[in-house]
Chains A and B, each alone.
Chain A
Amino acid sequence: MGHSFEGYRRSNGRVGVRNHVAVIPTSVAASSVASAVADEAGAWARATPHQLGTSQPDPARRQTERVLVGTGRNPNVGAALVVELGTEDIDAETVADDIAATGKATETLTIRESGGTANALSEGADRLDRLKAEADRARREDADVSELVFGVECGGSDATSGIAANPAVGAACDRLVEAGGTASFSETPEFIGAEHILADRCVSEETRERILERVEAREGMAELMGVDLRGAQPTPGNQEGGLTTIEEKSLGAISKGGTTPIRGIVDYGDELPTNGGLVLMDTPGYDVESVVGKVAGGAQVVAFTTGRGSTTGNPLAPVIKVTGNPKTWDRMSNNIDVNAGTVFDGESIDSVGARIFETLVEVANGRRTEAEHRRLEEFAINEIQPEELTVEVDG
């Protein structure tokens, strides 16, 4: 089997596996219009509605803006329309310019300047048509798997996640890294109890210290709130599935990144390198926000393991669902792409990893995942909470 695929090469050198026109609202106030414009246009237009962006404290606003820009810069995006109401702290022009720096076509739409939502919808439709014409100039061309940034995620975990699905996805990550690509996993709360293993695998002291510091910060949130992390981790579904403690969940979770050295850790939504090996991202444990962070970082394809059966996708990056639980596969195969539960019948982790890697290449070549078929496109941006922000005395 080849290690190449056909993708959309962008001016900045990154390669997309889809050629969507993104419709990106700068705030919740423009989200409904963004969704309506995209829905009206057709499946080639993908909206990323979210709840943030109207007015946020500075660090939180910067994070929102970084994710919006990263979303538009993702190579699966052929062109982007940035929509604002016109009263937001985040400026659509700035976001559009930062996206356009990758060489792709962008336009903006300001609802207030259009004179209300009805006019905005028709102006938005015109702009999307122009953007589609630009995006359509891209053709699939030869690309190498080493140009892939593969985000991996786990959600709705149970005991099979750490035994079957995660190690199998990890084996696929190992193959990709060996071929020269980038794999990335995240969800820092799910490093708790396994951070010493991650620390031992870091290529540099700097990365090692950074990981330990991020884990401490996430664990400190429980302390800050005066609560027991067990109130949220593991979740009721995790526990029903046999996971007793966060340590157990984490030890299973980290295996989805494979076994190669850890080359770095980036902030939420920050750009992930190409040809980067295994790189972590510091994200919360919320699945959707975590996937969105990695897609904003440039991941073209995401693998998402689930024991209990999570069904979430993403508007811009295909999400490959993998379960290691044979019962979940039987019950929910409509929502799941790869059955890793076969390890309980004797298939080796490496063999399942090979199947996942092949699925990755096929999906990169255009094969649609179950979440794409069903247009399951959950999108949410993590908001830095007031407790995490330093006290502003008079700012």
Chain B
Amino acid sequence: MSTPSASGRTFEGTPRADGTVGVRDNVLVLPSVICSHFVAERIAERVDDAVATPHDHGCAQLGADNEQTRRTFLSMAQNPNVAGTVVVGLGCEEVQSAEVATALESRDVAVRELSIQGVGGTDECIERGVEAATELVQSRRTSQTVADLSDLTLGVVSSDLDASTVASADPLVGRVADEIVDAGGRVVAAGNERLVANPDGARDAATDEARDAMEALLDRHEGHPARATRVGQFARDRPFEEVTRAWGRNTVSEVLPYGERATLSSGLAAVDAPSRFGEATTALAAAGRTSSCTSLATESSPGTRSSRSSK
């Protein structure tokens, strides 16, 4: 049986102003707070190619939590699969929709902003949001470009460490990850429990440039229970190599805080996100610059609302 080679493979994508290529051409309807979540969903439901990313945050979070929420919003909206973003706020929240929109504008993202309180209620906000999203959909560039694997960022998360995952699914995904990196692309991997459970392995897996950031990640989780409890427990009893098979064989050349965008031009980056699927894919979509692939136990893959933009 011959194995098809990844080098030389191409795909058609949507070119973005910053030189990246999208594999989807969606308009993102981004609630800046849980309170505008339904309004954002109603807007997206009424516009073809619009997707909403409802979430639980943005109200009155403290310090680092608040920063993380804001950072994740900005990065999500800069994912190349996003053609433009409608930021929808309530109006009184900690993460202000106008502030998010201004920050995105300065990063050359096509953006519209509105808040429920600003326009006088949910009915009006939905109507205006539909108009704004429709405008963004209509102003999309229609041209497609031929891209190769060096234009791809693959997101990888393995949400459990069951036997079949470790034996079959993870190595297969890891193989794909290696092919992408060999072809000049990027892989971003979630699953911080695996690093924390095997600190020595994690240190060895990091390149010199990434070592300080890896050390900081390990410090940050010191003494805290793993978010994905079972993954954390299983990972402690297994070698590092075995619990990170889905990441491929490359060394970790960048370590990213949750919600941060990857900067490496090629290679493997680890994202400080848990193996819990929804949170992981959101962080990968934020970190990554194109598609997100998942490795999961056995047959079924739960789609989560927060990760829609990455699909």
Residues of A within 8 A of B (CB): 28-32, 49-51, 54-58, 61, 85, 87, 89, 111-112, 116-117, 155-157, 189, 221-222, 225-227, 229, 231-233, 235-238, 240-241, 285-289, 308-312, 328, 331-335, 374-378, 380, 386-387, 389, 391-392, 395
| A32 with B63: CB separation less than 8 A | no
Q: Does B179 contact A (CB under 8 A)?
A: no
Find out whether the CB atom of B34 lies under 8 angstroms from the CB atom of A231: no
Q: Which residue of A lies closest to B36 (CB)?
A: A311
Which B residues from 90 to 126 make CB contacts under 8 A with A? Answer: 90-94, 96, 116-117, 120-124
List of A residues within 8 angstroms of B63 by Cβ: 225-227, 231-232
Q: Determine the chain B residues whose CB is within 8 A of the CB of A51 once the complex forms.
A: 55-56, 278-279, 306
CB neighbours (8 Å) of A235 from chain B are 59-60, 92-94
Residues of B within 8 A of A378 (CB): 34-35, 37-38
Decide: B38 and A222 in contact? CB cutoff 8 A. no
Please state if B303 and A32 are interface contacts (CB–CB under 8 Å). yes
- Residue contact B304 to A29, C-beta cutoff 8 Å: yes
A335 to B116 alpha-carbon distance, docked (Å): 10
Tell whether B247 is near chain A: CB-to-CB under 8 Å. Answer: no
Complex: how many Å from CA A157 to CA B306?
A: 28
Interface pairs (14), CB distance under 8 Å: A28-B302, A54-B228, A87-B297, A111-B302, A227-B63, A231-B63, A235-B60, A308-B117, A309-B90, A334-B122, A334-B124, A376-B38, A378-B34, A378-B38
Q: In the assembled complex, which residues on chain A have CB atoms less than 8 Å from the CB atom of B60?
A: 189, 232-233, 235, 285-286
| With A51-B55, A225-B62, A377-B38 as contacts: A32 and B122 at CB distance below 8 Å | no
Given the known inter-chain contacts A31-B305, A56-B229, A235-B92, please indicate yes or no for A332 contacting B121, CB distance below 8 A: yes
Whether B227 sits at the interface, judged by CB under 8 Å, is: yes
| B159 interfacial contact with A, CB 8 Å | yes
Known contacts A49-B305, A389-B225; decide if A311 and B90 are in contact (CB<8 Å).
yes
Residues of A near B303 (CB, < 8 A) are 32
Residue in B closest to A393 when the chains form the complex, CB atoms: B223
Instruction: Report the contact-size class of chain B (Cβ under 8 Å from the partner).
Output: 35 or more
Given contacts A61-B229, A389-B224, A395-B225, 15 further A-B contacts (CB under 8 A): A51-B278, A85-B300, A85-B302, A112-B300, A155-B35, A232-B61, A235-B93, A236-B93, A285-B59, A287-B59, A308-B92, A331-B121, A376-B122, A378-B34, A386-B227
Task: Tell me if B203 counts as interface (CB < 8 A to partner A).
Answer: no
A45 to chain B, nearest CB (A): 17
Closest A residue, CB atoms, query B124: A334
**Bound CA span A232–B117, Å:** 19
Contacts of B276 in A (CB 8 A): 28, 54-55
Question: Once bound together, how far apart are the Cα atoms of A30 and B304, in whole Å?
Answer: 9
Cα-based distance from A286 to B225 in the complex (angstroms): 24
**Closest approach, in angstroms, between the C-beta of A120 and any C-beta of chain B?**
10
State whether A288 touches B56 (Cβ < 8 A).
yes
Which of B94, B120, B122, B277 meets A236, CB within 8 Å? B94
Interchain CB contact under 8 A, B56 and A380: yes
Q: How far is the CB of A384 from chain B (nearest CB, A)?
A: 10
How many Å lie between the Cα of A61 and that of B229 in the bound state?
Answer: 10
CB closest chain-A residue, reference B63:
A227
- Contact between B117 and A286, CB atoms less than 8 A apart: no
Pick from B55, B159, B160, B304: contact of A32, CB below 8 A.
Answer: B304
Q: Is the CB of A335 within 8 A of B91?
A: no
CA distance A112 to B226 in the complex (A): 25
| B159 / chain A contacts, CB cutoff of 8 Å | 54
Residue from the list B38, B59, B229, B300 in contact with A57, Cβ < 8 A = B229
- Bound: A191/B127 CA distance, A: 38
Residues of A within 8 A of B94 (CB): 231-232, 235-236
User: Which residues on B sit within 8 Å (CB–CB) of A117?
Assistant: 300
Give CA–CA (A288, B60) in the complex, Å: 12
Interchain CA distance A85-B298 in the complex, whole Å: 12
User: What are the residues of chain B within 8 A of A287 when measuring CB–CB?
Assistant: 35, 59
Judge whether B64 is part of the interface by a CB distance below 8 angstroms.
yes
Task: Provide the bound-state CA to CA distance between A49 and B275, in Å.
Answer: 20
Give the CA-CA distance A376 to B39 in the complex, in Å: 8
Which residues of A have CB within 8 Å of B76? none
- The reply to whether A156 and B62 form a contact with Cβ atoms under 8 Å apart is no
Residues of the B chain whose Cβ atoms lie less than 8 Å from the Cβ of A334: 121-124
Contact with A along B255-281 (1 / 0, CB 8 A): 000000000000000000001111100
CB proximity of B105 to chain A, nearest CB, Å: 19
Contacts of B116 in A (CB 8 A): 309, 311, 332, 335
Report chain A residues within 8 Å CB of B91.
156, 237, 308-309
Whole-angstrom distance between the alpha carbons of A328 and B123 in the complex?
15
**B230 contacts the other chain (CB 8 A):** yes
Cα distance A227–B94 in the bound complex, in angstroms: 15
State whether A28 and B304 are in contact (beta carbons under 8 Å apart), knowing that A236-B96, A378-B35 are contacts in the complex.
yes
Give B271 Cβ to nearest chain A Cβ, in Å.
17
A375 CA to B126 CA in the complex, in Å? 13
B66 interface hit (Cβ, 8 Å) = yes
Task: Return the 4 tightest CB-CB contacts between A and B, nearest first.
Answer: A237-B92, A227-B63, A29-B302, A386-B224
